[in-house]
Amino acid sequence: MRSSFIVSAATAFGLVLGACNSSGGSSVQSPATPAVSPASTGQSTGTTARGSTYEVVPDSAVTAGLSDVQAQAIEIKSVLGTNQAEAKALVRQMYDSWFLFEGTVRTNDKNLYLEIEDGLAAIKAGVEQNDPSKVDKGLADLKGGASAYLAKHP
């Protein structure tokens, strides 16, 4: 009984403090909370903890980046059969490269962005599961999305 009173009192106190803090008159600022997206949490897209800032970069950076990410994906496939740990490290590097220009692709063409993301996620899943066929599917999606993107946004 006493513990439920303490919990109730603490909850009420927290609500009162929260209401006071949201009045707008306080000079106390709470730290900014970054936006959380599936891409930044690793959910459904298979990204690393670093996440993306969705920064928009010049088209030349996207062209170079897509080439680099595709080369990394091919390397991942070649390494997977003999060294899964190295393939996992390469997946993290591939995502880190993608994060540098992802925002431009996302801004310019959401559908192709999603196709590329699906490809990257399939590559990661294939590596995690040591399943080369999933990596092949991811490579195909990545290549298709990247080629279509570059045709639309040279």
Q: How far apart are CA 63 and CA 59, in angstroms?
A: 6
Distances (CA, A) of 27 to 14, 31, 32, 43, 121: 18, 13, 15, 36, 43
Query: What is the pLDDT averaged over residues 68-81?
Result: 97
Long-range contacts of 36-42, Cβ-Cβ distance < 8 Å, separation of 24 or more: 39/102, 39/117
Residue 13 in tokens: 């106190």
**What is the predicted pLDDT for the residue at 54?**
84
**What is the predicted pLDDT for the residue at 1?**
46
Residue 15 in tokens: 């609500």
User: Residue ranges of the domains in the chain?
Assistant: 38-152
Q: Which is nearest to 77 in space by CA: 143, 123, 141, 125?
A: 123
Q: pLDDT digit string (tens) for 113-130? A: 999 999 999 999 999 999
> Ramachandran region of residue 68, left (φ > 0), alpha (ψ -120 to 50) or beta?
alpha
Which of the pair, 41 or 137, is modelled with greater confidence?
Answer: 137
**What is the predicted pLDDT for the residue at 122?**
98
Instruction: Specify the CATH architecture of the domain 38-152.
Output: Up-down Bundle (1.20)
Q: pLDDT digit string (tens) for 24-60? A: 443 333 333 333 333 333 333 434 345 667 889 999 9
